[in-house]
Structures are given as C-alpha cells and as structure tokens.
Amino acid sequence: MTRPLRADSERTMRAILDAADRVLARDPAATLQQIADEAGVARTTVHRRFASREALLEALGQDMLEQMEAVIDDSRPETAPPLVALHEMSAGYIRVKSRWRFHDLGPTPAHGCVLARITAKNKAMFQRLADAGIIAPDTDLDWAIRVYFALLHEAILRRADTGAEPDVLAALVTRTLLGGLRGT
C-alpha cells in the first residue's frame, strides 16, 4: 500500500502532471527540463518523483485513467436512476477529457487494473440501461460502449470548437446514443 502524499507534495505532483500534459501537447518530444520549467520546479524535483520520462508518461496516463474512474463513481451508476447516471457520467467525461491536451498515451500493463475497473463499471452502467428497458435488452454492450465513447469524442471536439457546456453536450450524446439503441 502506498502512503498518501503530503499536501505540498500532492500540489507539486499535480503541477508536474498538469505541466507535462500542456508541454507534451505542444511538443511530444519535450524534455523533463521543459516540463519542470513549465511546472515551476527544478528538474531534480521532477527526477525525484519520476525516474525517467517513461515513468512520467506512465504516471500521466494513470492520472487520466483515475480521473475517468472518478467521473464514473461520481455519477452514482449503481444508485442513481440510469438516465440521470448516464447524463452525469457523460457530462463528467466531457468536462474532464476536455481539459486534457496530450492524448498520445497508450495504456501500459501498469494501467491494467484501472482500465479493467473502468471497463467493468461502464459495462454495468449499460447493463442497467438494458435492464431498465432504456436500451434494447439484446444490445451488444461492448459495441454500445464503443459508440458512446465515439460520441463523447465528438462532443469534446464540439466543445473545443463552440465552447458548449458539458451538460448541453451530454444531453446531445445521450439523445443520439439512446435514439440508436432503443430498438424497435
């Protein structure tokens, strides 16, 4: 079990990860020195927390996945009415993923646990939609989730273009998704 970081260490870690996101979006080949400069910390501070550039990239990916999992949990998918949970989850995904600048992170083996939990939670949410009769009971849930994330991606692009609010875009995603999955 890892020990929680002190508040100042947590702020430094957050500053480094946020700076890495911004700097790597501008220049995927950026150095740790450039990231440290953007974060307002010494390069040695970055190196104390991350043994290598790869370790920093892995931590950035882990942080992004944990943010996505928190979005799911905050939407209360097990207890909220399914449509409310879906809307909240959609708005949360749009809000969180719209802040990210660097997207060239592939999952690593270290991300497996979080990815497995996210996948299971998304599938459980879509199963609730099917069980409630909101989507057709024979819906291929894996396909539905892939379509859902494609719609979220388009909503994030629209937000970047228009500045539309996450709740408005979440309603659009939900309407579009459910219109296609209700069945006949």
* pLDDT recorded at residue 25: 84
Domains of the chain: 1-50 (1.10.10), 66-181 (1.10.357)
Tokens at 131, concatenated: 């069980």
1 or 162: which leads in pLDDT: 162
Predicted confidence band of residue 182 (pLDDT cuts 50, 70, 90): low
Percent of the chain predicted with pLDDT > 70: 90
Is-above-0.85 flag for pTM? no
Does residue 67 have a pLDDT over 70? yes
Does residue 62 have a pLDDT over 90? no
Lowest-confidence segment of 27-31, 108-112, 144-148 by average pLDDT = 108-112
* pLDDT recorded at residue 37: 93
Chain centre distance of CA 55: 19
The predicted-structure confidence for 154-177, as pLDDT tens digits, reads as follows: 999 999 999 999 999 999 999 999
